[in-house]
Structure 1
Amino acid sequence: MRLHRLRMTAFGPFGATQEVDFDDLSAAGLFLLHGPTGAGKTTVLDAVCYGLYGSVPGARQAAAGQGTNLRSDHAAPATRTEVCLELTVAGRRLEITRQPPWERPKKRGTGTTTEKAQSWLREYDAAAGSWKDLSRSHQEIGEEISQLLGMSKEQFCQVVLLPQGDFARFLRADAEARGKLLGRLFDTGRFAAVEQRLAERRRGAEAEVREGDTQLLADAHRMQQAAGDAVELPLPDLAPGDPGLAEAVLAWAAVARAGARERLDIAHAALSAAESAAVAAQRRLADAREADRLQRRFAEARQRAERLEARADDYRMDRDRMERGRKAESVAPALDLREAVEREHRQAAAEEARARAALPATFADAGASGLAAAARKAAEELGSLASARRAEQRLGELATERAELDRQDRADEELLQDAASWLDGWDETRAALQGRIDAAQEAATRAEHFAGRLEPARDRLAAARRRDQLEADAAQAHERSMTARERATAAREHWLTLKEQRLQNIAAELAANLTDGEPCAVCGATEHPAPAPKAAGHVDQQAEDAALAAHRRADEARTDAEQRLGVVRAQLAAATETAGDATTVQLAEEYEELQRRHAEARDLASGLHPAREALDRAEREHERRLAARQEAGQRAASRASRRELLDRERASLEAELAQARGEAGSVAARAAQLGRQAARLTEAADAARIAEETAQRRKDADARLADAAFRAGFDTPEAAAAALLDDAQHRELQHRIDAWQHEEAAVRSVLAEPDTAAAAKLPPADVPAAGQAAALADRRVRDAASARDAAARRCAELNRLSARCAASVRRLGPLREEYDRVARLAGLAAGTSADNERKMRLESYVLAARLEQVAAAATVRLQRMSSGRYTLVHSDDRTGRGRSGLGLHVVDAWTGRERDTATLSGGETFFASLALALGLADVVTDEAGGVRLDTLFIDEGFGSLDDQTLDEVLDVLDSLRERDRSVGIVSHVADLRRRVHAQLEVVKGRSGSVLRQRGVEG
């Protein structure tokens, strides 16, 4: 990491804008930051830290609160506090700008309003030679810087801004204070988490073992309840954790199972006896019910027989009526035939009367033969008019042909006039059509030229419109990206706030799950005298998870918005390159003008083909009209000859038709009269013949009906018709006869049954008494079955609980082994185990290794500063609480003795702490992934050194340039101003401090 520039406005004691060029200061390797006390030297370092992390180091951040106290009291009310830092880290040149929240005057009215903090992150693009925006999110910028630097703010303040006072205290501190600082720097919280995890596992294993013993004893009590009075042996009086508990419970369970099985065998025997008695009772009940049924059946049959005897006369009358109906059925065909013939005769007579009514009076008395002869005579006369009808038809054809010849004369006359008129203007028409062809060919050439220019213009216009739209889209996407970042930041801050609130009140959440007698998940105690109550607005796990989910969704939305912004900007660049510098309006006007001119040329050119076709059609029309004029003259001569022949044929036909018409208006009218007369006569002859035939068939049907009635035994046909039954009457009679016969047979069958007759002779059956006996036997069976089922359930429950107890005993063995193993590991990691001789916790052990590395790195520089006299070494001796691992001693080469660092003098303490700070910076840098630190600051402490030691210290600092580092010394020692030429002076005044910079050349 190398710093390039720092710009501060209204920050700390600096009221106006101040800028520091670190590139100029770092050219010599060493530079001095000096000024009077209270001028603002440390504020420069605070500004560097604030630019990177958004907060200032240590206690000064607590004093600054939310950032409002960072503002300079010397700044103008309208000037906003701002820090801008430019640096190179991981090969990337970045610029970070931060503005803390501030109270500004209201734009309208009086008073002030608070504006939120803002941050910007930009990166320099060497290829483009310009800066590009990366983010405006506090969270994203903080994550990006932390990832690039590989260290937290605390680590940065210890590694880059070397606070000598802090390291002097670190040099003299006890093991616990050293452990806290080293823990923050090296992030050894995961080892403390391992200790905590082992302790939690130890408590969990212990709780599982105790829970297993409690469950085993609870199952034993359940077995005692299930056994009831089947086992007289009492349950052993044991508690969870007592030795022999498992063996005693299993032995008692075996005795309980044996007693329960004996009770089950007794219940099975009782159930078998009850079931046998119930079967015999059911058999007696069935016999009583059968005897009662047969006795009632015989009594019902006697009653039915009496009812049949009372209806015997009706049955005989129905049977006689059925016999007469069957005889009448033989006469039914003759009756049907007589009715059908009668209907035909009446219809034929009516048809004859209608046909005679249409004839003249001369045919009123004519028979069928006379009418047929008159019809034949009319038909013969109608046939003789066929020749006359053909002549009349030919006469009509001649008139039509003569009219067609006249029409053709008129058409040819019009054709000749039209052809003459058209041929007179032929030359002018041909010249006009040729002019249209020439103009269309010229327009086609222009249209091709405009078409070649139209497509590029359309592409530029489309690109310009896309450019305008994408500019708006880019602004919207940028706004959405900023909004998404702010929402993601707000969601993360909300989540962290809820998480912190939940952790602050976690005691109340744990207390909600405490139960009297149950061990606490934290301390293991079974008594809970004062559980922490939940405060109002308590944040639970569900609320924290919901806030975390909202934060993740907001972060995904931010990523999507930034990706969309990048896509829109790439599309905007492509559209801008295509559209050029012209505005959309200019390009649209240019494109519309090209379209108009192209459309005009294209419309004119589109007439080329129609013009050529028109010329071809005109030439063909010219030839056709010349030929038509010649043909019209030839047709006129031919029609004159044909007209003379038609006139002679018409005169001959008119003489023939006058003779054939007679008194009728025409041959067709005469033929119509004869046709109607022949049809009427034929119809009347047919109707008379049919009437005569139906009259004869009616006589024959009467004779057959009389004969059929006599043979069937009826005196007259009317008596046979009265005896005839229709289908409904026949079905009703047959149903009554069949019902009487079926009932008689059924009664006779029941009375003839041997079992029914024998039961009727016995005394009445007592069914209720037999039923009561059977119900009593069934109740005894159910009671015995219930006793058997209860005994079976007791045995099954005891077997289940015994198996569960055995499984619990098998499961508790590995749990006890796991508990012993975890307890030993937890005690070893916590330093409480007897196996841990030095009582060193796991985290302290790791920090001791880091401290040993720091001491080795610091010794390299300390020997040069002390001319080889002092060496820092790590010590694992026990301290205050009996723990060890974080001791730090100094070895004096002059005496050869190892002594505590608290015995060093003021100057020795300074360069020892300086060497320790530089060594710690190297180790933390390596721990952070080897991030190169090209700029360091050392704050105060040089006033305690003599001249020789100061020279040696400056030589050590100057040697840091071998790694291409630049070191800034923060001091007000006057001697350093003569030794270090590159200087940054802080000058304080009533209107605020200002910076004066002097490089190597200056």
Structure 2
Amino acid sequence: MRLHRLDITAFGPFGGSQSVDFDALSTAGLFLLHGPTGAGKTSVLDAVCYALYGSVPGARQSGQGMTLRSDHAAAATRTEVRLELTVAGRRLEITRQPPWERPKKRGSGSTLDKAQSWLREYDAQARTWKDLSRSHQEIGEEITQLLGMSREQFCQVVLLPQGDFARFLRADAEARGRLLGRLFDTHRFAEVEKRLAERRRATETQVRDGDTELLADAHRMQQAAGDAMRLPDAAPGEPGLADAVMSAAAIARSTAREQLTIAHSRLTAAESAQAAAERTLADVRELARLQQRFAQARDRAALMAERSDGYRQAQARMERARKAEAVAPALELREAADAEHGRADVAQARARALLPETFAGAGAAGLAAAARRAAEELGGLESARRGEQRLAELVAERAGLDRQERADEDVLQEAEAWLVGWETIRAGLQSRIDSAQEAATRAEQLGVQREPAQKRLNAARMRDQLAGDTDTIADRLRVAQEEALAAKAHWLDVKEQRLNGIAAELAAQLADGEPCAVCGSADHPAPARKDAGHVDREAEERALAAYQQADERLVEQERRLGTVREALAAATAEAGDTPTGQLASTFEELERLYAQAHRDASDLHPAREELRRAEAEHEQRTTARQQAEVRAASRVGHRERLDQERALLEAELTQARGPADSVTARAAQLERQTALLTDAADAARAAEDTAQRLKDADARLADAAFRAGFDTPQAAAEALLDDAAHRELQRRLDAWQSEEAAVRAVLAEPETADAARQPSADLASAERGAASAAQRVRDAASARDAAARRCADLDRLSTRAAGSVRRLAPLREEYDRVARLASLAAGTSADNERKMRLESYVLAARLEQVAAAASVRLLRMSSGRYTLVHSDDRAGRGRSGLGLHVVDAWTGRERDTATLSGGETFFASLALALGLADVVTDEAGGVRLDTLFIDEGFGSLDDQTLDEVLDVLDSLRERDRSVGIVSHVADLRRRIHAQLEVVKGRAGSALRQRGTE
């Protein structure tokens, strides 16, 4: 939760409208809320609480509607509080107006307006505010759910009242329990205690009702068994009831099973008769099926005889197509040879077009011979091409040697020049390092003395300045007192003069015939007249205003004098009685020595770095010189070998190039000529080969057609069938053959032929016999089922009765267990050694967490001296587990928190408040609390402890919190720059925000 802006109108001591920009205050992380006593510092916090929850903290919430309104407000100004904040990632604006009595718009008197509330949310995309609710209840539920805290928890977690925690620190176990119970909402554990007591009563009732349920099951078993069972005479609760019921149930179950056996036997006989009838029916149905099958096969045979001509034509067409399939490969071969021959002719013409005219009439053999001659010449140039490449490499390598020689000469000259002065450079750098090291030691020693001297000098200067300011403000205060007394005397004189002449003012309002406002008479015989020095209402009001302004100036001067005197006492305590000039001279000399030592010491790191770089450069230049000398020696012989090889290669290449510019150009000419001649020779041979294959294919096609029985190849081609026609013709032939085979198979079956020779089957008579046998089986099965149901009912009820008997013992065990738990949770059990109720145990665990969280900050505030620990010792006859002790690291002893001094009690209670805030925040579901307020108590701390406390508060920013401190301590105004000052006056208080630009 982060607060952004608070607007207050006619609230508490603020008669007009005031605004607080929390965004600006929170930028510094730590801000101060200060002002004179009664100015309204707490009212700012009350306004925040009222905006969120519709009520103010503590005792101030009684009669809020009227007491919240400012007595300084104008009659027509309505009390209003508006708070803008971000919680749970949502930016909200809450506006609340308590009920108020306003003047009537018509006539005199006043009327009561009801309280009103508004809740709006900022839409970042649309950049507008949208209304959410105007219901007090809905707004309260929404804010409580988002914050995860009640108003009491919020006031303890966000508005940290130090007085409450000081009382909490010294309180007894009962008081701590009440506070922790409100904060951590432990009533649910009290509900657990209540539920355990209720569970104990419930289990006792279940045990008592067990026998009644068992007897009811016995009555049900008697109804199911009829005369076969007699109920026991025992009543519910008697010891022998369960045994008697279970014995009678066993006898009834035995009798029912005998009756079930007899019914089973009757059903078996009926089922045997039914099986015989069903076998007879099955034989008759099979005979009727076979007779019908023979008749259908005979009809299908007659139909096929009528369609036999079409079958024979299809067979002949299929046979001719099979013969033509033998000629199909020859046909395909001939077509492929013809296409190949055409492609070879085209390729030959394209290849010959690229050759010179001298090869136009050459055949395949001539072209091949010319290609071989060109290839042989090209092969002879391969060695010359490698030589040409090697010559280029030799030239490049020779140029590289020349460049290396020049570079190595430069390296040698530069290295020699630098190494001559190496020893002088090294000695100078080492001397700089030693001097800087000594200066660093001096600077460290002087730095320890510097900060205390600076603080004393600043305090002395502040002391001198504040001493002069005290005298000046005291003089101003005397002048303001005199002016206030004079203004008051003048106002009283003016007021008295006006009262003396009030009759003239009343007389000026008289009218003939109208009654007098004083005596009521309608006659006005001698009305008073205004004299020359008459004082009217305006003159009195001007005198009163002048007096009020003088009184406000007096209050302001008194406040300033108190502030300056507090600051003067603090500065004098820190600076002592030493003159400021002497402290300044001492500090200036110390500052001069420190600055000189610091300047000398600053050369330590650069000198070391320069020495390191110089040593590295020395090693690098030495190595470079050695390597350059080695390379120069190896280049002499290498250069001579390169010159000899270059002269030999140049002579060979001049002969191999011929008329071409280079061996490579000559080789490219021969490669192209060889490729063209080879392609033309290959194309000519391919054309001759394909012509011969075409002749061979024509001969094979004619021979294949003759052997297949066709007069010409064309006739064989016409007899061929495509795949679809072949499949359709084959399907028709296969269907005919399948049908013919199926008919012959049916007519040839012996059982079908025998059935056809027998008389027609009487199916109706056989079905009637089978139906009569089935009815007898159903009647026997019904009797058997009735006996089985009786057995099942008796078994089910017996099982249920046995279950009831078995449940009685666990129920009694459960009752004993629940009774023990209930007494243990209530603290009345002998096993509960400390007599702690469950709720007290949970509160003790929470207090232990709070003590651990508080000790982390208390250690820092007390410079590692104090630690809070939780104690579970009983406190007399009261609660146990809610004790709180402090461990003193200086003595190693654990003692009561009541032994702490005033200042120690303050920072211990502050640490406890912050620890409780962390624990309650985590308990509330991890709600982010970005804004906290801490109320008073800082005046009891010395300077060192105050620094520690402020450091701890400043560290709250690590959790993205901004902290507002409510305090009168003047020293805090110097330490904390962001301030919200409450200034009081006769017309009401006002807010001033400082140090936020």
Q: TM-score, normalised by structure 1?
A: 0.41
Q: TM-score, normalised by structure 2?
A: 0.41
Answer with 1 or 2: which has the greater Rg: 1
